[in-house]
Amino acid sequence: MATPRIAPSMLSSDFANLASEAERMVRCGADWLHMDIMVIFHFVPNLTIGAPVIESLRKHTKAYLDCHLMVTNPLDYVEPLGKAGASGFTFHVEVSKDNWRELVQQIKLKGMRPGVSLKPGTPIEEVFPLVEAEDPVQMVLVMTVEPGFGGQKFMPEMMDKVRTLRKKYPSLDIEVDGGLGPSTIDLAASAGANCIVAGSSVFGAPDPAQVISLLRKTLENC
Least confident of 121-130, 147-156, 212-221: 147-156
What confidence tens digit (pLDDT) does each residue in 77-91 have?
999 999 999 999 999
**Domain map of the chain by residue range?**
5-221
Rounded to whole angstroms, how far apart are CA atoms 127 and 164? 11
What is the mean pLDDT of the segment spanning 136-161?
88
What is the mean pLDDT of the segment spanning 25-47?
76
| pLDDT at 40 > cutoff 60 | no
Output the known binding site.
9, 34, 36, 68, 148-151, 177, 179, 199-200
Which residue among the candidates 36, 98, 173, 207 is catalytic per the annotation? Answer: 36
Q: What confidence score (pLDDT) does residue 150 get? A: 58
Output the known binding site for a divalent metal cation.
34, 36, 68, 177
| pLDDT at 142 > cutoff 50 | yes
Nearest residue to 193 via CA among 147, 148, 152, 140: 140
Q: What 3-state class would DSSP assign to 212?
A: helix
Largest CA distance in the chain: 46
Q: How confident is the model at residue 153 (pLDDT cuts 50, 70, 90)?
A: confident
Q: Is 177 noted as a catalytic residue in this protein?
A: yes
Contact 124, 165 (CB under 8 A): yes
Which residue among the candidates 31, 66, 173, 177 is catalytic per the annotation? Answer: 177
Q: How confident is the model at residue 48 (pLDDT cuts 50, 70, 90)?
A: low
Output the known binding site for substrate.
9, 68, 148-151, 179, 199-200
Number of residues assigned to the chain:
222
DSSP sequence for 37-86? EEEETBEES-----HHHHHHHHTT--SEEEEEEESS-THHHHHHHHHHT-
Q: Is 160 noted as a catalytic residue in this protein?
A: no
Contact 100, 78 (CB under 8 A): no
Q: How confident is the model at residue 125 (pLDDT cuts 50, 70, 90)?
A: very high
Q: What residue type is 164 in one-letter code?
A: T
Q: What 3-state class would DSSP assign to 7?
A: strand
Percent of the chain with pLDDT over 90: 84
Residues 43, 49, 53, CA angle at the centre, nearest 5°? 150
What is the distance of C-alpha 137 from the center of its chain? 13
Q: How confident is the model at residue 97 (pLDDT cuts 50, 70, 90)?
A: confident
Residues 85, 39, 63, CA angle at the centre, nearest 5°? 25
Q: What confidence score (pLDDT) does residue 30 get? A: 98
What is the distance of C-alpha 182 from the center of its chain? 18
| pLDDT at 38 > cutoff 70 | yes
Q: What confidence score (pLDDT) does residue 1 get? A: 72
Contact 30, 6 (CB under 8 A): yes
In CATH, the number for domain 5-221 is 3.20.20.70
φ/ψ of residue 197, rounded to 5: -95, 125
Q: How confident is the model at residue 41 (pLDDT cuts 50, 70, 90)?
A: very low
| pLDDT at 152 > cutoff 90 | no
